[in-house]
Amino acid sequence: MRVPAENLLGEVGKGHKIAFNVLNFARFKLGAMCGGGGAAARSARRRATRRSASSSASRSRSFGAIKHKLGEMIVRTYAVESLVYRTAGMIDARIAATPHDAADQSAALATLEEYAIEASIAKVAGSEMLNYVLDENIQIHGGNGYVRDYPAERHYRDSRVNRIFEGTNEINRLLIPGMLARRAVKGDIGIIAAARALQEELLGPPSAPATDDGVLSAETRAVEAYKKAALMAFGIALQTLRPEVERRAGSVDARGGHVDGSVCRRQRRPARGRRRAGEVSEGIAACRRGTRAGQRCSAPHRGIRTPGARSHGRRRHTAHHAGGASASIQGDAGQHGCASPPDRGSGARARGYPF
């Protein structure tokens, strides 16, 4: 199919980059869309308040379990919103810092490719946060959350697909560490240097943590500890699996290698097909000459089944039984390996013989 030059997107032979960047952008947008879980949290709070006001025996908002659910819903929603806002800010800043024309989309494509890991993280974190929030929303609504008279039921049902499309969460969980490891090996991300610095810190003399009595100081220290634990685990995994990561990073690009390989194989296939077709045609012609001499053919091409080959095989089979067998084949038929096999009778096809 010929495509006009004015309809070309990107560069010739590199359409897969646009396709993968569409996935990156869609994953990031999906994570941003899931930030609407805050509306479900507000709905659950209103439902709990209404139940408390209407029934003195059901003061659900005053229960500690309900308070915990509402707090957890708000915290998780806030975390995903923060992730989305920060990633969007970094993408906008990178595009703005890259010199490009207003109509040129190459800067946006390169930036989205660079932040593919963050897009996958946003998709996984956002979809699972929304699933948790809407599940707790139904729990707070009680039996009313399970029926169609209330919107909680539809919200929960509609959110289920978010963990499936744009790449399932399981696939994205494989993509995130894989892309991270390949970029670390290539030197695009300074994870290896950071892991070595952390190793030296752990092996060195212990140091007293800095005292800070500010707001959220304990939470800040906890986040720093989580980062170090994750960096240590990733560094050990990368040190153990680095030869395999380097082999794959050198042979297969994270976003285009498989597609490029498929294209190359497809481009080579017609040439192989033409060579194979020539061999088959030549072999069939030789067998036809041998058939006219009253012989059956056992040339290497006999496993290729085409309509012409099937009809030709029936003619050979008939000729074999009608004309008998001779001791040898003269000319081209002998050159192509046509021999005189023993008569296999009616069970020849059942035993795997082609004719």
Q: Which sequence positions are flagged as catalytic?
A: 166
Q: Give the separation between CA 77 and CA 32, rounded to whole angstroms.
A: 11
Q: Which single residue is written with the structure tokens 């993509």?
A: 175
> Which conformational region is residue 216 in: left (phi greater than 0), alpha (psi within -120 to 50 degrees), or beta?
left
Q: Are 323 and 291 a contacting pair, CB within 8 Å? A: no
Q: Are 238 and 245 a contacting pair, CB within 8 Å? A: yes
Q: Are 21 and 112 a contacting pair, CB within 8 Å? A: yes
Q: Are 167 and 27 a contacting pair, CB within 8 Å? A: yes
Q: Give the separation between CA 61 and CA 91, rounded to whole angstroms.
A: 41
Q: Are 221 and 177 a contacting pair, CB within 8 Å? A: no
DSSP per-residue string spanning 81-114: HHHHHHHHHHHHHHHHHS---TT--HHHHHHHHH
Q: Are 170 and 73 a contacting pair, CB within 8 Å? A: no
Q: Give the separation between CA 15 and CA 13, rounded to whole angstroms.
A: 6
Q: Are 142 and 150 a contacting pair, CB within 8 Å? A: no
